[in-house]
Amino acid sequence: MINIKQLSQRYKIYDYNIGLIKATPTDVIFGNFDLCSVHWLKHKYRDRMFADPFILKETDDTLEILAEEALFLGGAATLVKLTVCTKTFQLVRRKKILSIKSHLSYPYILRWNDKVYILPENIASDKLKLYCYDEVREECIYVKTLLDMPVSDPNIVYENGKYWLFGGKKGCDQEELYLWCSDDNIWGNYYPKEGVCVKKGLRGSRMAGDFFRVNGQLYRPSQDCLEHYGAGTVIWCVDSVSLDRYEETEVAVLYPQPRSNYPDGLHTINFSDNWCVIDGLHIKPDFWRGGLLRLDKKFGLGFFD
């Protein structure tokens, strides 16, 4: 006989939310980062979750955050801009900036020649596409295809006079990290075509946010997927970057607080001048929505794809 505990484990939803912390990369590297001080985003929505936050703009009393938005009952995830009050941590405005027929996430932000570019994950497609963000119209405009393959959690960093594109490949994105190189600019010709696998393992391969620097040293945030996808975040000091040699040293780990409102995962971390944004996961029982999703998947109905 199935008991309540078994039912709650079977019929569940994955609820992500965005957390804000008054912190800098230096706090993370030198052990002064306090997850107990996180302020979770307050919003009115009960039918969706927000994840993969990147900070577009910081003002005296707001943060403009780009994020993934996904409905619990399916449909392709979209990218949105969230304006958050940093005094009340209330969502004051939400604007959809990119929506296509397939799942979008990880709105990685690039700033180049006074323009803002977005390089999102679209693992369901067959390409990695770069978009320019129109700040007046608040929408993403297609610019160029960087790779003729999908890449999970793509990041571009400038180091040693070259542009390095990091990301995962479809099917092995939780356990393998790949690297491509451009000699000229962010939208240059990246090579080699298939990339070079520079790291393997469920702990620390998949990207968890943008690279950052402390005292000139480059650091890479990554996901710990050993227990499950995005259980925590591992920070690495990048020692060497090339297609022939990639080396890094672990310097910090971040895991959700057990008594947090979102105790089951932390898989994104990004910074502005004075703020840090993360996302948190709460795997919670939901017999109604969880049951519908389970039935849809079991019988291949496709109502919530």
- pLDDT digits 0-9 by tens, 182-196: 999 998 899 999 999
State residue 294's pLDDT score: 61
State residue 69's pLDDT score: 99
Nearest-angstrom CA–CA distance, 68 and 150: 17
Angle CA(136)–CA(118)–CA(51) in degrees, nearest 5? Answer: 100
User: Using H for helix, E for strand and C for coil, what is the string for 218-247?
Assistant: EEEEEEECCCCCCCEEEEEEEEEECCCCEE
Contact of 254 with 35, CB cutoff 8 Å: yes
- Tell me the pLDDT tens digit for each residue of 245-263: 999 999 999 999 999 999 9
Confidence of residue 70 (pLDDT cuts 50, 70, 90): very high
**Statement: residue 44 has pLDDT above 90:** yes
When pLDDT is averaged across residues 286-300 and rounded to a whole number, the result is 57
When pLDDT is averaged across residues 130-139 and rounded to a whole number, the result is 98
Domain boundaries, the chain: 13-291
Beta bridge partners of residue 178, listed in sequence order? 167, 197
Nearest-angstrom CA–CA distance, 70 and 47: 9
When pLDDT is averaged across residues 214-239 and rounded to a whole number, the result is 98
Under CATH, what is the fold of the domain 13-291? Tachylectin-2; Chain A (2.115.10)
Which two tokens mark 202?
A: 């469920």
